[in-house]
Structures are given as C-alpha cells and as structure tokens.
Structure 1
Amino acid sequence: MLKQNTARAQIRVRMLLLALCCHLGPAAAGVLKVERTPDGGGGGDTISHSAALVWHLEALMAQGDSSDVSLRVETPNAEEVKVIQAHSLLLSLQSSVFADMLLSRNNNNSSSLVLKESPDCAAVFDKFIRYLYCGELSLHLEQAMPLHRLATKYRVLGLQQGLTQYMTQNLARDSPLGHVAGWYEYALQAGDVTLRDSCLQYLAWNLSSVLRSGEWSVISSRLLMSLLPRSDLVLQSEMELFAALEVWIVQNDPDGLTAENALRAVRYAMMPPRELFRLQTQSSILARYQESVRDLLYMSYQFHSASPLQMAKFFDVNCSLFMPRNYLSPVWGFSWNINNPTRDDRSTSFQTQLGPSGHDASKRVTWNGLFSPRWAALSSKPTNTDAGTTQPSRVERGRPRLIVTPATSSADFAGVNFQKTVLVMAQHKGKAVVRHIYNFYQSTEENEDFLEEADLYRKTSDYVADGSLSIHIIVKPLYQTLTASKK
C-alpha cells in the first residue's frame, strides 16, 4: 500500500510540474540582476521569473488544472458548500495539517476533503488558499481575525505571524463598533501572546478615547478586570473611569462579584473629597454596592484629611489606592507640541499639584522642561573655554532627550518622590494615539530607547504631524513612606 501511495504521489508531482511548465512557457520576460560577493568581486548573475511564477500559480489555482483533491468547505446550518479544486503537493508543502489530512485521504482512497469552518472563515477561505499558492493576499480589517484563525488551525506559521503583525500595526484603525476588544478575546483563545499583549497595551494607553467609543460597553468582564488594576491607564481623571464603569455595569448587568471587584479597582483616593461626596449622594451604582467599597471610601477620606506622612504612621496604606495613574488633567502635567522638533533645544515651564492628598491640594510645584533633539552624554574629554577653564564637550548629534526638573526646592518636597512620565503621540491614519510611554525621574537619558523609533529627521515620520511632535508630560508624586515595600 505504501509503495502504491508513493507512486501515486510521484505521478501527481510530475503532472503538476508539467502543468506549471505549460503555463509558464516563454511568456515571462527575464529580470536580470547582478549579485556581488562580500569581498567586492563579481558574483553570479540571476535571471528571476518569480513574479511570473506567482501569477501562473494563481492561475493554476483559479482554473484547477491537474488538481487532485477537492476541498469541500462546509459551514453549520448552511446549505451551500464551497468547493475548491486544489493540488495536494502545494497544500502539503505549506501546511503540516493538510499533509496529515491528505495522507489519511490517500489511505481511504477519497478524492475530497471535507472541511468544517465557521461562516466568517468560510467567507475568506479562497484568500487563505490563495496564500498557500502565491505567498501573498490582500485583506480588509474585518478579515484579519478569520484569516488568523485559519492560519492557526492549519499551522501556516508564516501567515499566522504576518497577520499578527498586521493586527498589531492596525489597532488604531477606525471601525464601526471597534475591533481591539474582539481581537484581544480571540488572542486569548488562540494563545497568541504577542497580539494579546499588544491589544491590552493599546487599550490601556488610549483608554480615555476608548471610554468614549462604542467599544467600551461591549468589552468582556475578563478584559475589564485586566485593565482596571493597571497604573499605566491613560485617563483624564479617576472620575472619568468611574463614570465609564457605571455605564458598563448598567449596560452589561454583571454578577454581583464582578461588579464589586470592578468597583474596588477604582482608586477613590485620587478623587478630590468634593467628588467623593457627590458620588455617595448621586451614584445609584455606588449606593447599590456601597458596602463593598465602604473601607476604600473611608481610607480615601482619611488620606485627604491628614498629612500622608502622619497617616502612614498609623495605617497600612501601601496599596494601589494611593498610586496615581497617567492622568491627562492639567493638575498632573502638561501637553507640549514641539514645532520643528529637530531644529534646536526647546524649553517650557508648567505647574502641578504637590501631591494627590487633599492635604497638598493647594500646593504647587513649578517644573522646567528641556527638550533636546541632539542630546548626547557629556564626553570625558574637556575643552578650553574663553575664561581659561575647561568643561566637558558635547557631541553635536545625538538622540532626543527630555529633562524635567523642579524650578525651586522646598521643604514640602520632603518624603515625596516625583516620577516623570512622558506620553509620545503618533499619527495613524490621521488619528493621534499614544505610541510610547516612558518613565524617568530626572531625564529620559535614563531610558536608552527614548524616541528611538521616531526618526524625527524623516519627513514621513508618524511622530511628526504638521511639523510638530506631540508629547504629554505627567508628574506623579509618590509618598515614600506609602510606597516603600515591606521588609
């Protein structure tokens, strides 16, 4: 039996090669290119008909010449069956799953394979098979997930990786009902860690815009609970998050435990006392679940009424409740549009609240910001100055850097660490999105990759829109005694 199967396979290969030769013929013009060896010597010349080969393979698939297997694509509860004439050699070369199925078919002397697919996968099955023949395909945004599902099912790794890259690069694309949340759920199911993490990061870094979209109300409780504990959420304020969470609970009516866990993930201490009072008197959701968050509200009122350093002496407050997120409110930072960011150094100044506690609400810190498009570390070789003294020299061209320092020192700073966060915006299809987040204490020189991918000197850089680089600087005051880890 094995010899017979081998003989049949050899005959099919000869027939397929003959069909290809007949299709190719002399029609394609040769493309001549010269390759050079690494030492500069002359290399061998290559005549390439690869583009013509792809064209003829596509024609071979479309016409079904010399096909030896019929693919019957069936969908549940559908009378119509899609039939594709294919060639077992090409299917086996591209997919180990097809190779196993075809081997089983040969043992059963069957001329067809019955494939059970969902309606969305069946709709793009022609595109999937075309990729197996030609190594390329064109697609719309909504076709990415079913194609990825087919590539995963049939173990076509090249296509699977290519679609993962396509999806991660198109998270910011506009779609009627949103697509990132659906892609996240699919990535969890498919075990695609790269896609899962990319979707979660995009949603976290652009959450303020997501909350105002139709996608927010349909996200799953699993995705919701993956987002809420994160400190890197980009929001106008914690109040914005609570208001959106109210909407989600009303529209999705989750079980009591899910609603309680979601409400306990809100950082009430980051809301001013007047907002907390308003929530307790006006929010029907908070009234319904108030017993579940009573301790958090109590701790939040204490946090605002006493000095944080004094409070830490009596209460264990080393938790996320007292950690600021990436708030876009002017109280916490400054939005800076830097015109012609490659031209020269730029400076600015802005003020932030000393700390999130109500005890520090009236205190302000003035900050100086310096952006340099060509910042480089000072070299160890000194240079002479006109005054006869020496100072370290600076390289003319370097990578962009940002320095944020307080304008004055104050005794009020005692016990407070200031973490700086800079959000870097990029344009995608005319839409501004947060592409990178960098955390530092004095200078982004602490981050060796700051704006490494931006290439501000390139005219088509996604990071420069209308000649400007858009960044948002956030200052996070962290009380040392509150954030210190326990021994």
Structure 2
Amino acid sequence: MKRFSPSGQHYPDPSMPPENVPEVIEGQTLTNESKKVKTNQSFESLFDSESLCDVILNVNEGQFVFRGHRMILGLKSEILATMLNELKSGDSQSRPVLNLKEAPECSMVFSRFLYFIYSGAVWLHRDYVLPLHSLAEKYQVKPLIQHCHSYISQILLNMIDTTDGCRGFSIDIICDIYEGNLYSDEICDLCYKVLCAKFRDLIASERWPFCSWHLVSDLLKCDDCNAEENVILTSATEWMKRNQLADKNLIEDILVNIRYPLLHRKVLYHLQKNGVFKNFPQVQELVENAVRYHCFKDVPEAKDDFVGVQFTKRTLNRTRPNSAENNGMNSPEMLSSSNQNLNRSVPGQTHCSPAVLIQNTQPPPVVQSQIYSNLLQESREYQRLYEVAPAPPSSPNQQTFSPIPQMYNVSSAANYVQNASVQTGDRSS
C-alpha cells in the first residue's frame, strides 16, 4: 500500500532498521544491535461492533447485516477496498451501506468469512468449507484461500484411503469440483483420484448419468479405476444409453478405453461372435487382440506381443489388504468377480486438527445398478453368460447380490453397442 507524506516532511522509514546498525540475527547475543519484534494484530473485538463503525454490510437485501470498519475491511481485501472507495457516503446521520449479493450457501457462512478478516481465525468444516473458499476467492483474501485449500486437500486425501474414517464430500460435490474448473490443479487431481477409488459408488449413484463426457472418458483411462473390467464396460454403456449418445466418434472414444484382455474369454467370445463392434474398426481390433491374448498368453515367444495399456491390469488397491479374496484378483479369469471390500463399513471415527473438527457417519448403503432390460432372462445367451462368473463370497457387512444381473448387464451392454452400431451406420458411408 502506497504511503502518503505531506511535502517537506521526511521521517525515518519505520519498516527498516536504523541506518548503519545491523539487525540481530536469531540466536546471537543482543549487544548494541537493533532487534525487530512483532505481535500478532487482531481486531476480533471490533467484529460486528458499534465501536468506531463507519459502514454497514447488507448481505442479500437484509438476510444478514453486519457493522463494519472501512480500514479493517480494506486492509484485508483489495476487492472490498475498491468497493468501499466507490461507495457513496450517506447523510451525516447515517452510515453508508455496502450491499452485497451472495449465493445462498455463501451467505450462510459470510459471518465466518467476516470473522476471519477481523480475527485471522476460522473454524473449518467439510459442510461449508467450499462456499467459504468461494468467498475467499471472490474477495481475494489470500490467507483464507490457503487455509481452505489445505483443508479441502486433506479431506480428499483421507477419502482416497478408504481405511480412514473421514466421510468427506459427497460424490456429487466431488464431480462438481472436478468439472467446475474453479479450483487449483492440485485439488482437481485429488478429486480425480477419489472418483477412481470410489468408482463403484459413482456408477451406483444418481449422478453417474449426468457426468460429463470428459469425466467419463478420463475415468475409463485411469489405471486406478477401482472396478473390474466388466463393471467398467457395463457402466460406460449405461452412461451412453442414458445420454442417448449417437456420435459414433464419441462412442468409439469411450469403448477404446475398455481393456478387453481383462474381460473373461467367454464374454469376449460373445462380443466377437455377434459382431458387436463390426462398425467400430478400432474397437474390433482390440477385441481380436484380446482373443489372441487368451489363446497365446502362456506361450513364452508371444509375451512381447501383449504389451501396452490394453494389457495393463488396473490397480485394485482399495480393497482390504491381505484378504484371502484378493489372491489372483487381477487375473483375467477373476476380473468378472465383484470387489469384495470397497463398500465395507468402517467404524465411525473423529478426525481432528487445530481449529478443525470432522465427524463421521456410516457410509450410504450400496445400490445395485440395473442397466438394461432388452435381454430376456429365459434366453440361452442369458443362461450361458450366467455361468461365466459364479457369485463371489460377500464380506460380512456387504449386501449380497446375485451374479445374474452382473452378467446380464454385460450381455445387455453388448446389445446396446450393437444397436448403436447399426443406427450410426458404417463409417465408410
């Protein structure tokens, strides 16, 4: 901030040590040198106080009204300083009023935002840290931005580790953060990792059909997408159907991210036999390579033929460590089995840090997603696919599902892709 001094007045700069006198370096013995001391200034006692009040803050036309002090507000926020400088003074009997329009969720935490400006302290909680961060960004209160950023990052890191008791943000909120492009790259990257770790929760939620194409495509590319390949295939086709995706290029761009060698060979047989991908040459080639993989994967001379992303097993590292069910989990023969422990219940815990309190509740129950209904259960194809993957053993706290809907979804996904292929026509046409 630029200092003003009347013409002709020259005083020693109080921010600098006396001339020709060195400062005391920390750890040295004090002799004749100068030493800078500093106290933490706080205007907490003036928060919403009549004392020295010279402006009124009116949030959302009277929803909340605060007594303010121009100097303090302008000192902490250049945005507020500009607004206050442009504010017309009232008559001698009244204070000027600064009208502020805030989103409903932001207005509810405006008192905490204002309290931080006066005191430098704030209580953070997952329920309102995002609107508090929005206010800090809007008015460019950088210390508060840093505090909120650090706190949001810690919550997301705790969510990636499913053994942590912190409930964190909802799937909807995490998708909004990732797709909104309003947060730092670091927070967006953490959201992406959370969505990969919670992929099963995402596809079982009501938010899944409303996810953007870019988010769906990004998740399907990830090595850490925490689901078996048949689940990824059926969820991708469900998303395409719910969004009535008709663009052939977009459909193919999603399908090429499925790792077909990780599907069970009987599923691959069904896909190839019915010519599901005949109008998607790139995908059809991937399926044929997957068939060759299952035929020749045990031949030593062929090992160099099966390298690349398609043959990279996804890292299902979110399940319970050292569980017996995890043995052989990543083999193509086992990838059609359900993840045993992703949605297991975790006893409620409390995560504490300075000026922060997070309380947990039990995670929501798992909801199974029924994708399509165009394949009759009585058909031979349905009965044949039923034998592909037997029902996996369930963890004690997990709801038991029949394997029939799972394989039924795989066949239905194939039917959807085949129908989409016919509707979009051959690429050469």
TM-score interval, normalised by the smaller of the two chains: 0.5 to 0.7
Per the TM alignment, residue 247 of structure 1 is displaced from its structure 2 partner at its CA by 2.8
Name the counterpart of 2:176. 182
Is the aligned partner of 1:263 residue 2:255? yes
Per the TM alignment, residue 241 of structure 1 is displaced from its structure 2 partner at its CA by 1.5
Q: For 1:463-482, what aligned pairs fall within 5 Å after superposition? A: none
**One-letter amino acid of the counterpart of residue 63, structure 1:** S
Name the counterpart of 2:67. 85
Is the aligned partner of 1:293 residue 2:286? no
**One of 115, 136, 150 as aligned partner of 1:130:** 115
**One-letter amino acid of the counterpart of residue 46, structure 2:** L
Per the TM alignment, residue 322 of structure 1 is displaced from its structure 2 partner at its CA by 1.4
**One of 185, 189, 193 as aligned partner of 1:201:** 193
Per the TM alignment, residue 146 of structure 1 is displaced from its structure 2 partner at its CA by 1.5
- Kept after mapping to 2: 8 A contact 1:69/1:112: yes
Is the aligned partner of 1:319 residue 2:308? yes
Per the TM alignment, residue 255 of structure 1 is displaced from its structure 2 partner at its CA by 5.5
Per the TM alignment, residue 263 of structure 1 is displaced from its structure 2 partner at its CA by 1.8
1:418-458 alpha-carbon deviations (Å, 9 max, x no partner) = xxxxx9x9998738xxxxxxxxxxxxxxxxxxxxxxxxxxx
Per the TM alignment, residue 67 of structure 1 is displaced from its structure 2 partner at its CA by 1.9
Is the aligned partner of 1:304 residue 2:309? no
Distance in 2, matches of 1:194 and 1:82, equals: 34
Distance in 2, matches of 1:231 and 1:240, equals: 15
**One-letter amino acid of the counterpart of residue 276, structure 1:** L
Relative to structure 1, the CA distance from residue 289 to residue 95 in structure 2 (aligned partners, 3 Å threshold; closer, same or farther) is: farther
- Kept after mapping to 2: 8 A contact 1:164/1:194: no
Distance in 2, matches of 1:426 and 1:197, equals: 25
1:170-224 alpha-carbon deviations (Å, 9 max, x no partner) = 23325666422222234x223x122111111222234344444445444332222
SS in 2 for 1:300: helix
- Kept after mapping to 1: 8 A contact 2:47/2:68: yes
Is the aligned partner of 1:117 residue 2:102? yes
More strand by share: 1
Size of the alignment, in residue pairs? 301
Name the counterpart of 1:336. 322
Is the aligned partner of 1:247 residue 2:238? yes
**One of 65, 69, 74 as aligned partner of 2:51:** 65
Per the TM alignment, residue 126 of structure 1 is displaced from its structure 2 partner at its CA by 2.2
SS in 1 for 2:285: helix
Relative to structure 1, the CA distance from residue 221 to residue 67 in structure 2 (aligned partners, 3 Å threshold; closer, same or farther) is: farther
Is the aligned partner of 1:96 residue 2:86? no
Distance in 2, matches of 1:196 and 1:226, equals: 12
- Kept after mapping to 1: 8 A contact 2:313/2:330: no
1:462-487 alpha-carbon deviations (Å, 9 max, x no partner) = xxxxxxxxxxxxxxxxxxxxxxxxxx
Q: For 1:67-466, what aligned pairs fall within 5 Å after superposition? A: 67-74=53-60, 82-105=64-87, 111-171=96-156, 172=159, 173=167, 178-186=172-180, 188-190=181-183, 192-235=184-227, 237-254=228-245, 256=247, 257-278=249-270, 293-307=283-297, 310-311=301-302, 318-327=307-316, 335-336=321-322, 352=328, 430=348
1:270-324 alpha-carbon deviations (Å, 9 max, x no partner) = 11211223456899xx6797566222212211222224655577x7x65311111
Distance in 2, matches of 1:156 and 1:428, equals: 37
Name the counterpart of 1:485. none
What's the TM-score once normalised by structure 2's chain length? 0.56
Relative to structure 1, the CA distance from residue 183 to residue 430 in structure 2 (aligned partners, 3 Å threshold; closer, same or farther) is: farther
Relative to structure 1, the CA distance from residue 288 to residue 164 in structure 2 (aligned partners, 3 Å threshold; closer, same or farther) is: farther
Per the TM alignment, residue 149 of structure 1 is displaced from its structure 2 partner at its CA by 1.2
Per the TM alignment, residue 266 of structure 1 is displaced from its structure 2 partner at its CA by 0.9
- Kept after mapping to 1: 8 A contact 2:106/2:131: yes
1:52-82 alpha-carbon deviations (Å, 9 max, x no partner) = x96xx555323343222233434xxxx7664
**One-letter amino acid of the counterpart of residue 66, structure 2:** I
Per the TM alignment, residue 166 of structure 1 is displaced from its structure 2 partner at its CA by 1.7
SS in 2 for 1:71: strand
Distance in 1, matches of 2:127 and 2:273, equals: 44
Distance in 1, matches of 2:53 and 2:331, equals: 72
Instruction: State the percentage of identical aligned residues.
Output: 24
- Kept after mapping to 1: 8 A contact 2:278/2:284: no
SS in 1 for 2:100: strand
- Kept after mapping to 2: 8 A contact 1:260/1:289: no
- Kept after mapping to 1: 8 A contact 2:126/2:168: no
Relative to structure 1, the CA distance from residue 154 to residue 254 in structure 2 (aligned partners, 3 Å threshold; closer, same or farther) is: farther
**One-letter amino acid of the counterpart of residue 264, structure 1:** V
Per the TM alignment, residue 151 of structure 1 is displaced from its structure 2 partner at its CA by 0.9
Gaps of 5+ in 2: 7-25, 31-38, 160-166, 335-340, 350-429
Distance in 2, matches of 1:354 and 1:123, equals: 48
- Kept after mapping to 2: 8 A contact 1:177/1:214: no
- Kept after mapping to 2: 8 A contact 1:145/1:183: no
Distance in 2, matches of 1:181 and 1:156, equals: 26
- Kept after mapping to 2: 8 A contact 1:238/1:266: yes
**One-letter amino acid of the counterpart of residue 158, structure 1:** P
Distance in 1, matches of 2:142 and 2:84, equals: 19
Asked which structure has the greater RCO (Cα within 8 Å, sep 6+), the reply is: 2
Relative to structure 1, the CA distance from residue 288 to residue 102 in structure 2 (aligned partners, 3 Å threshold; closer, same or farther) is: farther
- Kept after mapping to 1: 8 A contact 2:216/2:236: no
SS in 1 for 2:182: helix
